[in-house]
Structure 1
Amino acid sequence: MSLGSQIAWDDTVLPFQLDRSDIRGRVARLDGVLDQVLAQHDYPPVIEALVAEAALLTAMIGQTIKLRWKLSLQVRGDGPARLIATDYYGPTEDGEPARVRAYASYDADRIDNKAAPFSQIGKGYLAVLIDQGEGMVPYQGITPIAGGSLASCAQSYFAQSEQLPTRFALSYGRSQLAGGKETWRAGGVMVQHMPKASPFVASEGGTGEQGLLKPEDVLEGEAAENWNRVNILLESVEDLELIGPSVSSTDLLVRLFHEEEPRVFDAQPVKFGCTCSEHRVRESLSIYSAKDIAHMTTEDGLVTADCQFCGAHYELNPASLGFEATEGSGDE
Structure 2
Amino acid sequence: MAQTQETAAIALAGLDAVIPFQVAPLDVRGRAVQLGPMLDAMLGRHDYPQAVSRLIAEAVTLTVLLGTALKFEGKFILQTQTDGAVPLIVTEFRTPSSVRAYANFDREAVDALVAEGKSDAPSLMGNGILAMTIDQGTYMQRYQGIVQLDGITLEEVARRYFLQSEQIPTEVRLAVGETLTRGEDGKPISGWSAGGVLLQFLPDSEERMRQKDLHGGDGAEDYEFSTDDAWAEALALMGTVEDLELTDRDVEPERLLYRLFHEHGVHAFDANPVFDDCGCSEDNVRGVLSGFTAEQLNESTEEGEITVTCEFCSSTYRFSPSEFTTSQ
Distance of aligned partners of 1:274 and 1:234 in 2 relative to their CA distance in 1, 3 Å threshold? same
Cα shift at 1:227: 1.6
Structure 1 segment 1-332 matched on structure 2, within 5 A: 9-91=14-96, 98-111=97-110, 112-114=113-115, 115-118=118-121, 119-146=123-150, 148-177=152-181, 181-194=189-202, 196=206, 197-198=209-210, 201=213, 203-204=214-215, 211-213=219-221, 217-220=223-226, 224-299=228-303, 301-321=304-324, 325-326=325-326
Cα shift at 1:149: 1.1
Contact 1:127 1:141 in 2 (8 A): yes
Cα shift at 1:147: 5.3
Distance of aligned partners of 1:4 and 1:257 in 2 relative to their CA distance in 1, 3 Å threshold? closer
Contact 2:147 2:161 in 1 (8 A): yes
Q: Distance in 2 between matches of 1:28 and 1:297?
A: 44
**SS across alignment from 1:172:** strand
**SS across alignment from 1:81:** coil
Cα shift at 1:220: 2.0
Cα shift at 1:20: 0.9
Contact 2:126 2:151 in 1 (8 A): no
Distance of aligned partners of 1:36 and 1:4 in 2 relative to their CA distance in 1, 3 Å threshold? farther
Q: Distance in 1 between matches of 2:255 and 2:216?
A: 39
**SS across alignment from 1:55:** helix
Name which of structure 1's ranges 171-180 and 68-77 shifts more when overlaid on structure 2: 171-180
User: What is aligned with 1:95?
Assistant: none
Cα shift at 1:68: 2.7
Distance of aligned partners of 1:167 and 1:127 in 2 relative to their CA distance in 1, 3 Å threshold? same
Q: Distance in 2 between matches of 1:102 and 1:226?
A: 36
* CA deviations over 1:154-197 (Å, ceiling 9, x no partner): 21111111111111112212112577632100111110112744
Percent of matched pairs sharing the same residue = 39
Q: Distance in 2 between matches of 1:66 and 1:171?
A: 26
Consecutive unaligned residues in structure 1, runs of 5 or more: 92-97
**SS across alignment from 1:254:** helix
**SS across alignment from 2:263:** helix
**SS across alignment from 1:54:** helix
Give the alignment's TM-score, normalised by structure 1: 0.85
**SS across alignment from 2:30:** strand
Q: Which amino acid aligns with 1:225?
A: D
Name which of structure 1's ranges 253-262 and 32-41 shifts more when overlaid on structure 2: 253-262
Q: Which amino acid aligns with 1:316?
A: F
Contact 2:212 2:225 in 1 (8 A): no
Contact 2:72 2:136 in 1 (8 A): no
Distance of aligned partners of 1:251 and 1:173 in 2 relative to their CA distance in 1, 3 Å threshold? closer
Distance of aligned partners of 1:18 and 1:4 in 2 relative to their CA distance in 1, 3 Å threshold? closer
Q: Which amino acid aligns with 1:198?
A: R
Distance of aligned partners of 1:258 and 1:205 in 2 relative to their CA distance in 1, 3 Å threshold? farther
Consecutive unaligned residues in structure 2, runs of 5 or more: 4-11
Q: Distance in 2 between matches of 1:49 and 1:76?
A: 18
Q: Distance in 2 between matches of 1:128 and 1:310?
A: 21
* CA deviations over 1:116-158 (Å, ceiling 9, x no partner): 3321211111111111123111111101014531121121111
Contact 1:143 1:156 in 2 (8 A): yes
Cα shift at 1:295: 1.6
Contact 1:101 1:272 in 2 (8 A): yes
Q: Distance in 2 between matches of 1:199 and 1:255?
A: 30
Give the alignment's TM-score, normalised by structure 2: 0.86
Q: Distance in 2 between matches of 1:249 and 1:234?
A: 13
